[in-house]
Every structure is written in structure tokens, then in C-alpha cells.
Chains A and B, each alone.
Chain A
Amino acid sequence: MVNVILATAAAAFAPVDQHYLFQARQMQALSLAVHIPLVCFGIAFPSLVLFAEWRSLRTGDPLFRTLARRWSKVMLALFAVGVVTGTILSLELGLLWPGFMAAFGNVFGLGFVLEGISFFVEAIFIAIYVYGWERLPPRLHFLSGFPVVVAGVAGSLFVISVNGWMNQPTGFALAGGVATDVQPWSALFASRYFWHEFVHMYFAGYVVAGFLLASAYAWRFLRGSPDRYERAALTIALSAAAVAAPVQIVIGDWAAREVAKAQPVKLAAMEGLARTTPGAPVHVLGWFDGDQVVYGIEIPRLLSLLAFHNASATVQGLDSVPPAERPPVNVVRFAFQTMVGIGTLLAILSAVYLFVRFRHKRLPTSRWFYRAVLTAGPLSVVALIAGWITTEVGRQPWVVYGVMRTSAAVTGAYGIPIGYGTLILVYLLLAGALVWTLRRLAAAPLDAAAAPALATARLAPSESRESSHAR
């Protein structure tokens, strides 16, 4: 009886003729692109703040306490915006992709339930932590930050488990367009695919948050002689990014091998490999003209070597599936090359930093280094988004890989272009407001909003309430 009803319901979600599928995808992509950098801060920022507080507890140096306090306020503001952009994303799943939700919500939804609970824990303790600076005893306050760290990581783990499932769907059977025999736990967590995605994203969190923070302070370094506070802030942020960025190359290599195994067509699109080839080459730069990569630098056999650790291994090409089942090659390939290119540059910058740091036991002094750090922040966000474009557009035309096409998931409602246009306007407005605020903050970087200011070690003690307390 129930099954009959559900089958009828599934028929009510038969694929519709949606003229604006592409706009719907772009709308979702835009919302993800806005949310994802905030996720990086959710993953990385709490532990950086706690590190600063830990230093203050160990050394009694008020500088670290000031640093942790200021950063925690930024962390809270970013979290608040993340709550909103996260709500938008969950609404959009239903608004734009009802076919997907109706058919598979019962399979992957558990990941979001667990994520929602993590988000809750994060929201509760971030409030206690940030509003409790002057109220809780120091050690208790320090401890209240730990749930924020754990929940931030757990939340991203659960969401990525859903993405892993979309790329390698398991844990259900299909009967008349409805998922039956659902095993939600193993669908999400027994999948091998999601682990590399999670580790890759976890490290990306530190790369992006670290470089973005470092960018802000590098700007101060370029403008004049930075004080002790700014040097400490830059050191912590840049060290976090610099230890993560080089390792990301090894993790990326792992990720690519997993993709080669589970999604050969995505790999073929990433590399612009038209035909199944033994001993396949890699092309750096260039353009895929529908049949081959032109104007690229060919490195023979490298793709086979990287993907299968065998220089003459056969790599599946785009021709292994009908044209209607191939993703848009140039988008995927360009995004992939962008991510790899920027990732490599960031790793080199990190190596320079770590070399100077460990060898000469100081910060780099070259202005060029700080110019590079200044650009590294925004570039790391570009790499992050390019990476997600690679995996999400590379999955097309499927929303659930090999099971449901994105066109079968889309809403039948009218007005997608209106919604998309409105969202663009709202986000542009927000970007404008953000730039304006940052300019104001930059003009008076140590204003009253930063609270008990131990701005610089050069401040007179009377101006520095905290330092006098800590004495």
C-alpha cells in the first residue's frame, strides 16, 4: 500500500521540461561559491583562535589573548554569515532540485541531519566562547572552544559524505524511480570515495583561511613597519597555510587516483582525453577543441603514470560513454588546471616561507614575498572554487552519478531567471558592503571594535587595560 502511494508520488516527480536548467545549476553554484570560503573558516579558524589562546595561557603574554579575542569576533561574524548562506543552500536543494530530493532524500538526508546537529553544537559553543571572554574563568573558556573545533570539522565531514555519495552512489536499490532497500549509514560512510574529498577539503580549509588572514596582515607589512601584534598574527596564519599547502599536492594526487578508479569520464574531462589511450599523456594549458587538446604542452605517458602508477596503463577516454553522458570538457579542464596551477604556486610560496622560518629563524624580509602573500589569499579562494567546479561540473550530466540526471532533478517551477538575477544582485550588494566595511576597518585597523586594545607593544600601559591586568 505504502509502496504504491510512493510510486505514484514518484510519478508526480517525473522529469519536467525545464527551459532554465543551466540557470538553476548556476544559481546553485553561485550559492555554493559564496558559502564554501566560509566553510574553510569554519574548519580552520576555531583551532587557530584556540592556538592563540593556548599561547596566552602558557606564556601569560597578553598579546596572544588580544589576538585570540579579535579573531574570535571575526570568527563569529563569519559563522553568522555562514548560518545564513547555509540556510540558503538547504532551501535551494528543495527549491531547485525537488526531483533529486524526492527520490533520494531518504538515502543521503541522514548526512545533513548529522550536519545540522554539528552546526547546532558549533553555534552554541561559539556563542559561549565569544561572549564569554570576560565572564568565564580562563581555562574553562579555553575548553569551551573545543566543541567549536570538533563540530566545525564534523559538520564538513557530514556534508562531504553526501557529496561523496552523489559521486559514488551506493546503499540503495532502485524500483520504479524510487530508492528502496535504503541503508543510509553505509551509503554515506562506507563509501571509499568520500575520504579523499574530506581530507582534501580539510587541508583546503587551512590553506584558504590561513592565506586569507595572512593577506590581511601582509598588507600591513607592505604599508609600513608592522608591530609585534601584526607579526604574530601573520606568523600564525601563514604558518598554518604553509604547512598545509605542500601536503595538499600529495593529497590531490590521491584524490586524482580515486577519481580515475571511480569516475573515469570525469578524469578524461579533467585531462581532455578524447579517446581511450594506453600510455596517456598530460597536457598543460591549451584548449580542448572537441577532439584533442590544442596549443598545450604535452608530457607523454604522465597521465597513465599518475593515475595508475604505470606509464603504459590504459586510461579511459571520453569516447567510452555516449556524448550525452560527457561533462563539458573545457570548463572541467580549465577549472582543474587552475586549481593545480594555483595550488603549486601556493606550495612554492609555502616552501619559501618555511625555509626562511626554519633556516634563518625569522620572517622573510623581501617586499616581493609580502606582495605574493597578499595575492595568495584571493588566489587560494579561486583554487578552492575551481576545485569544487572540477568535481561538481565533472559529475555532470548526473546529479547522482550514473543514476539520476541533473535534468531529471530540476524543478518544474517558473521564474528561475528571476530568482537567479535577484540572488546575483543581493550577493553583489553584499560584496559591495563587505568591501566598504573592510576599507573602513583598514583605514582604522585598531579601532574600538577591537576591544581592550593591546594594539602594539609601544602603547603606553595605561592605554592597555589587558596588559596591566596581566601584569
Chain B
Amino acid sequence: MLADIPAALMLVGLAAYTVLAGADFGAGFWTLVPGGGRASSAATRDHARHAMGPVWEANHVWLIFVLVVCWTAYPVAFASITSTLSVPFFIAAVGGILRGASYALRGQLDASSGRRLVECVFALSSIMTPFALGTVVGAIAAGRVPVGNARGEAFGSWLNPTSVLIGTLAVATSSYLAAVYLAADARRLGEHALERDFRVRALVLGFVAGALAIAALAVVRADAPLLWSGLTSGAGLAMVCASAAAGLLTLLLVLRRRFEPARASAVGAVGAIVAGWAFAQYPRFLPGLTVEQAAAGPSTLSAVVIGVGAGAMVLIPALTLLFGLFLRGHLDAHGSVEALAADLPRGPAKGRAPRLGWLAITCLLAGCALLVVSDSGWAHAVSVVSLFASVPSAFVLAVDIPSDMPGSPISREGEHRHE
């Protein structure tokens, strides 16, 4: 029981990564093929790029979360997976570097010659990374990762029918999710041409992803019989059906231009696929290794559960806040509602400098003396606290004290117009 909880947490993380970061990858895909719609290519690219701005970083931390929970709770399984599948993981990693860098760079380039190249790198890496990660999922699902240090095939493990099809499905699903989200965003921003374009794209990609999913089932039947039997019975089957139903519902909603509910049902469709995979292979983790056998001892497992549980108390409200602000458009880069501070208090604080100075000097001397002279842990703790009190005080003084002196860096010289 305890052994399964981290696996469930990983599954939640993986589902979140798929529907959130997946849509970011998909937005990258649409920057590669921005044409063919009513809106201009440039507008389409800008829309795709802006839409992921505020949530980009948070979305990609999900992968780190899945990795760290895996290696803590199931160390042997983690090491087997990463060592056998080092090639696709490395491709995903390089894709991640190129993607992150080109995204950061793109923000600095508004109209210069290198822009197209950077955009191209961004789009291609947005396809490369989900494909590689999809093949990893395929390799694990098809049971091609034996337990041990790089015991599986270096290429056959992830370049096989199941893996390649799941990699392709990952790219298609990402693009599909992105199209649905981008249509919803365009509606919110009142961009009708973009809304129309992404509605058509969502419909097309919805059919493509559905067709690929059916093809994947056929391939799995031939290539990975164990997975097939899991997907066609019990909870696995229920999830496959739920995913299909949610997928159809999404198409219907997109067709009727109800984008916000479509966003939710698209998430449901993709989340159900991930859950279906998990049910299909449970309790198998790797060939010859069940989840329970792979699990670390109870002390580690409970530490993970406690750590993640405590983290969730902070993370869930924080994520709710972020996505609440984001989905209601409060973090949009477009337009601006200046909430500026006309009524802010003014005037620098005076008369506190001498006290702060004495605090800084006393704490510095005490901290240094204790750290150098004593060897006891408590003395070191006290000295570190003293240093942490002293150094910021000195910093504030170094920045602030001379603010009324002529020639000081932040004096108000040259600002007489404002005074």
C-alpha cells in the first residue's frame, strides 16, 4: 500500500506534465507551421509564444518532480530505466536545452536577423523532446527495460513499433492540446481570426491524435501482448473508454466553440490515457520487478509521502493562484491596466543608520570570533545567525547612507524637474 503511493504521485505528476508542458511543446509545434489560417504567421507565432509565458517554468518542473520521486522511492527501477534508455533521455535533454535557450533568447530579439533561426530551433526542439519522452514511455510500457545497469538494447529498446508510435502520439497530443488551449486564449483576448484558425487546427489534430491512438492499440496488440491485455481488461479498459469518450466530447465542444469546457475535457482525455497505461501495467514496473519489489524501505517511502504532502499544502494553493490569475488573463502581456502607486509613502527613513551600523559591526565581530575560535556546533549556529544579521545590515547601509550627499549614486541630482 505504502509502496504504491509514490507511484500514484508520479502518475499525477506525469499526467500534469503531459497536459501542461505537453501543451507548451504543442505551442512550439504551431510556431513551426503557423501558416494556412486567416491570421498572419507572425500573429500566430506571437500568440503561441505569449500564451505559455507565465506558466512555462512551472509546467516543466513537473518532469523534475516525477524524476526525483522515482529515484527516491524506486531507485533500482529508475537506474535501470535511465541507463538502458540513455539515448532518448539524452535527446530529450538536448531538446530541452535548445528549447529553453531559444525561448529565453527569443524574448530578447524583437526584429533582428537571428530571429527566424531561433524560432526554428525552438519549434524543432519542441517536437524532438516530447517524441523522445514518448518513446521512453513506450519502452517501459512494452517491457523492454530489463533490471540492471544498461542491460537493455541501446536502440531497440526505444526504436520499436510501440515506442515510435507512442512518441508520435505524444507529439500529436501535445499539438492537439495546444490548439485547444490557444483557441480558448484567443477567444479570451478577442482575437477572432486566431480563434477560428486554432479551432480548425484543434479539430484536425483531434482526429489525427484519435487515429494514432487507435493505430497504437493495434500495434500494441502485436508488439506488446502484456500491455494489450492490460489495456483491454478491468481498469485499463475503463480508462481507455473514458479517454475515447472525453476525446469525442472535446471535438464536439470545439466544434460548438465552447473552448473553456473543451480545455477541461481535453485534459481529461489525455490524463485518462496516462492513467490507463498505469493500470494496464500495474503491478508490473519492469519485467520481473513489481512496484512493491522496486520500492525503497518504509522509512524512505514515508519520508517521500510526508515531504510531498507538506509541499502540497503550499503547492496546491499556489498553483491554484497561478492558474487562476493566468486563465482569467491577469498575467497577459497584452494591454495594461496600470495599478500604479500614486499614493505611496515617500521619503527615506532617517535616523536609523547609526543603530543599524552598530548592529552590523557587533554581529560581524561576534559572528567571526565564534566561527574562528570555537569548534562547537552551537557556537557555529549562533555565529552564522549573527553573520546573517550583520551582512544585510551592512548592505542596506552601503546602499543607502549617503543618499542625500552630492555625488552619491542615487541622489536626486538631475531630477529637479520632478521636485
B37 at the interface (CB under 8 A from A): no
Q: Does B2 contact A (CB under 8 A)?
A: no
Please indicate the chain B residues that have their CB under 8 angstroms from the CB of A243 in the complex: 391-392, 394-395, 398
B374 CB to closest chain A CB, in angstroms? Answer: 10
A34 to chain B, nearest CB (A): 9
Q: Which of B74, B148, B308, B409 has the most CB of A within 10 A?
A: B409
Which of B71, B293, B325, B417 is close to A128, meaning CB atoms less than 8 Å apart?
Answer: B325
Q: Are A83 and B57 CB-contacts (below 8 A) given A132-B325, A135-B339, A254-B371?
A: yes
Question: Is B409 touching A192 in the complex (CB atoms < 8 A)?
Answer: no
Task: Name A9's contact: one of B147, B154, B321, B397 (CB within 8 Å).
Answer: B147
Closest chain-B Cβ to A164's Cβ sits at a distance in Å of: 14
Residue B98 at the A interface, CB < 8 A?
yes
Q: Which of A76, A180, A185 contacts B303 (CB 8 A)?
A: A185
Q: Do A128 and B321 touch across chains, with their CB atoms under 8 A apart?
A: yes
B300 & A106 in contact (Cβ 8 Å cutoff)? yes
Residue-by-residue, is A101-112 near B (CB-CB < 8 Å gives 1, otherwise 0)?
111111101101
Contact yes or no, B64 A119, CB < 8 A:
yes
Please tell me if B349 contacts chain A, counting CB pairs below 8 Å: yes
Closest residue of A by beta carbon distance from B56: A80
CB < 8 Å: which of A16, A103, A228, A426 contacts B98?
A: A426
The answer to whether A138 touches B331, judged by C-beta atoms less than 8 angstroms apart, is: no
Closest Cβ of chain A to B276, distance in Å, is 26
Interface stretch (choices A233-241, A265-273, A341-349, A369-377): A233-241
Q: Is residue A386 contacting chain B, with contact meaning CB distance below 8 A? A: no
A95 contacts B90, C-beta separation under 8 Å: yes
B417: which A residues are within 8 A, CB to CB?
461
Contact A195 B341 (CB under 8 A): no
Minimum Cβ distance to chain B for residue A108 (Å):
8
Residue A366 interfacial (CB < 8 Å): no
Name the segment of B81-89, B161-169, B211-219, B220-228 touching the other chain.
B81-89
CA distance A92 to B339 in the complex (A): 45
- Tell whether, in the assembled complex, residue A362 and residue B407 are in contact, meaning their CB atoms are under 8 Å apart: yes
Sort chain B's interface into a size bin.
Answer: 35 or more
Q: With A98-B149, A106-B72 as given contacts, are A84 and B110 in contact (CB-CB < 8 Å)?
A: no
Q: Which residue of B lies closest to A10 (CB)?
A: B76
- Known contacts being A81-B101, A195-B384, A426-B97, is A58 close to B345, with CB within 8 Å? yes
Q: Are B345 and A60 in contact (CB under 8 A)?
A: yes
Instruction: Mark interface residues in B285-329 (1 if CB within 8 Å of A CB, else 0).
Output: 000010011111101100110011001001100110110011000
Which residues in chain B, 268-297, are within 8 Å of chain A measured between CB atoms?
Answer: 289, 292-297
**Interchain CB contact (< 8 A) of A120 among B65, B101, B342:** B65
Of B57, B96, B348, B371, the residue contacting A79 (CB under 8 A) is B57
Give the interface segment out of A289-297, A315-323, A394-402, A435-443.
Answer: A435-443
Q: Which of A63, A76, A184, A192 contacts B377 (CB 8 A)?
A: A192
Chain B residues lying within 8 Å of A437, measured Cβ to Cβ, are 105, 108-109
Which of B69, B292, B325 has the most CB atoms of chain A within a 10 A radius of its CB? B325
- Give Cα A131 to B159, complex, Å: 41
> Once the chains are docked, how many angstroms separate the CA of A232 from the CA of B114?
33
CB distance from A415 to the nearest CB of B (A): 7
Q: A99 vs B75: C-alpha distance in the bound complex, in angstroms?
A: 10
User: Pick the contact of A419 from B72, B90, B319, B344 — CB < 8 Å?
Assistant: B90
B398 and A123 contacting across the interface, CB-CB below 8 Å: no
Whether B54 lies near A228 (C-beta < 8 A) is no
Question: A80 CA to B377 CA in the complex, in Å?
Answer: 37
Taking a contact as CB atoms closer than 8 A, the residue among A13, A84, A244 that contacts B101 in the complex is A84
Q: List chain A residues, Cβ under 8 A from B118.
A: 433
Q: How far is the CA of A309 from the CA of B392 in the complex (A)?
A: 30
Cα distance, A10 to B55, chains bound together (Å): 40
Q: Which residues of B contact A123 (CB under 8 A)?
A: 57-58, 60-61
Instruction: Provide the bound-state CA to CA distance between A192 and B377, in Å.
Output: 8
Q: Which residue of B lies closest to A106 (CB)?
A: B296
- Inter-subunit contact B308/A469 (CB<8 Å): no
- In the assembled complex, B190 has its CB within 8 A of some CB on chain A: no
B68 touching A115, Cβ below 8 Å: yes
Asked whether A98 and B108 contact (CB < 8 A) given A117-B311, A125-B318, A470-B342, the answer is no
- The residue from B148, B322, B392 contacting A124, defined by CB atoms under 8 A apart: B322
Q: Give chain B nearest CB distance to A419 CB in angstroms.
A: 5
- Interface status of A284 (Cβ within 8 A of chain B): no
Does B330 count as interface, using CB distance less than 8 angstroms?
yes
B71 touches A112 (CB 8 A): yes
Could you tell me which residues of chain B, from 93 to 113, have a CB within 8 Å of some CB in chain A?
A: 93-94, 96-101, 103-105, 107-110, 112
If over half of A's interface residues share one DSSP class (helix, strand or loop), that class is named, otherwise mixed; here it is helix
**Known contacts A13-B148, A117-B315; is A59 also within 8 Å of B347 by CB?**
yes
Q: Mark A459-471, 1 if CB is under 8 A from B, else 0.
A: 0010000110111
In the complex, how many angstroms separate the beta carbon of A385 from the nearest chain B beta carbon? 19
Which residues of chain B are within 8 angstroms of A242 by Cβ–Cβ distance? 398
- Flag whether B1 is at the interface (Cβ < 8 A): no
State A6–B349 Cα separation when bound (angstroms): 64
Q: Which of A116, A235, A257, A413 is close to B150, meaning CB atoms less than 8 Å apart?
A: A413
Q: Chain A residues with Cβ under 8 A from B101's Cβ?
A: 81, 84, 430, 433
Closest to B100 in A: A84
B364 proximal to A (CB < 8 A): yes
Is the C-beta of B53 less than 8 angstroms from some C-beta in chain A? yes
With A195-B380, A470-B342 already in contact, the answer to whether A87 and B150 are too (CB < 8 A) is no
B293 touches A132 (CB 8 A): no
Interface pair B57/A57, CB less than 8 Å apart:
no
What is the bound-complex CA distance between A304 and B64, given in angstroms?
Answer: 44
Look across to chain B and name the residue whose beta carbon is closest to the beta carbon of A233.
B409
Query: Is there a chain B Cβ closer than 8 Å to A446's Cβ?
Result: no
Judge if B151 is at the interface, Cβ distance under 8 Å. Answer: yes
Whether B71 pairs with A93 at a CB distance below 8 angstroms is: yes
Once the chains bind, are A131 and B348 in contact (CB under 8 Å)? no
A411 x B372 contact (CB < 8 A)? no
Q: Please, how many angstroms separate the alpha-carbon atoms of A121 and B364 in the complex?
A: 32
Whether A127 and B57, one on each chain, are in contact in the complex, defined by CB atoms closer than 8 angstroms, is yes
Q: Complex formed: what's the CA distance from A457 to B413 in Å?
A: 8
In-complex Cβ contact of B344 among A13, A138, A185 (8 A)? A138
| A412 and B308 in contact, given A60-B344, A470-B341 (Cβ under 8 angstroms) | no
Bound-state CA distance A132–B294 (Å) is 44
Which residues of B (128-149) have their CB < 8 Å from a CB of A? 147-149
Residue of A nearest to B399 (CB): A239
Complex contact A361–B293 (CB within 8 A): no
Q: A16-B149, A132-B330, A362-B407 are in contact. Are A449 and B107 (CB under 8 A)?
A: yes
Minimum Cβ distance to chain A for residue B380 (Å): 7
User: How many angstroms between the C-alpha atoms of A112 and B78 in the bound complex?
Assistant: 14
CB distance from A268 to the nearest CB of B (A): 20
Closest to B69 in A: A113
For residue B252, CB closer than 8 A to chain A, the reply is no
Task: Kindly state whether residue B368 has any CB partner on chain A within 8 Å.
Answer: yes
Residue of B57, B150, B308, B377 with most partner-chain A CB within 10 A: B57
Interface residues of B (CB under 8 A from A): 53-58, 60-61, 63-65, 67-69, 71-76, 78-84, 86-87, 89-90, 92-94, 96-101, 103-105, 107-110, 112, 114, 118, 147-151, 154, 289, 292-297, 299-300, 303-304, 307-308, 311, 314-315, 318-319, 321-322, 325-326, 330-331, 333, 336-342, 344-349, 364, 367-368, 371-373, 375, 377, 380-381, 384, 387, 390-392, 394-395, 397-399, 401-402, 405, 407-415, 417-418
- Sample 16 A-B pairs with CB under 8 A, ordered by A number: A12-B76, A58-B346, A81-B101, A90-B64, A95-B86, A95-B93, A101-B78, A123-B58, A247-B390, A247-B391, A254-B380, A363-B408, A422-B90, A426-B94, A457-B415, A471-B342
Given A10-B76, A199-B387, A415-B86, 8 other A-B contacts at CB below 8 A? Answer: A2-B292, A59-B348, A93-B82, A94-B67, A98-B80, A104-B75, A466-B340, A469-B340
